[in-house]
Structure 1
């Protein structure tokens, strides 16, 4: 029986595109720069940028036509960071509670 694969090239490319945009928040990247970096045809990047923009993961910088990470994706990262900080506080509280003398 053949092994199943759940890989989806479009989804993989979308994540790669988002990871590529990290670090380019001010100037962004042009669609052609993205296509070159990901080694794919520009029409695929146009489609990916459209879809990622629709869900707020990417935004177009109107003055330059370049793209950067969108507010929604950044908010997800910030929420994750806040949750990790809260977990660290809770763990520190528990460690403190069990390390004190009664």
Structure 2
């Protein structure tokens, strides 16, 4: 449920930055392009990328200076997939237990 009282522009911006990086894992995006797409200054992008890097959510490609998603994002996705697989296995086990004929 949306509550505008909880909105925080900088948090929203950094989340939009993560979403913008999605799909550009191989070559990344130039900081200039990120600044333009989010309509913020290059300094703001530098600060936001730094914070994402600190958490392992983004990385800078040394050869090009472009930014891409970091390994932590993939690790989160794999953890989610693993949890869903475990839940599915558990539901299948329960379903099999209850569907057996006495």
TM over 0.5: yes
Map residues 34-53 of structure 1 onto 2, 5 A cutoff: 34-53=34-53
Measure how far apart 1:4 and its partner are: 7.2
- CA deviation vs aligned residue, 1:37-91 (integer Å, no higher than 9, x gap): 2222222111100111111110111111111111122211211111011111111
Aligned-partner Cα distance in 2 for 1:83–1:96 = 20
Aligned counterpart, 2:32: 32
- Count of aligned residue pairs for this structure pair: 100
The TM-score, its normalising length taken from structure 1, stands at: 0.89
The TM-score, its normalising length taken from structure 2, stands at: 0.89
Structure 2 unmatched runs, 5+: none
Map residues 22-101 of structure 1 onto 2, 5 A cutoff: 22-101=22-101
The alignment's C-alpha RMSD in Å is 1.5
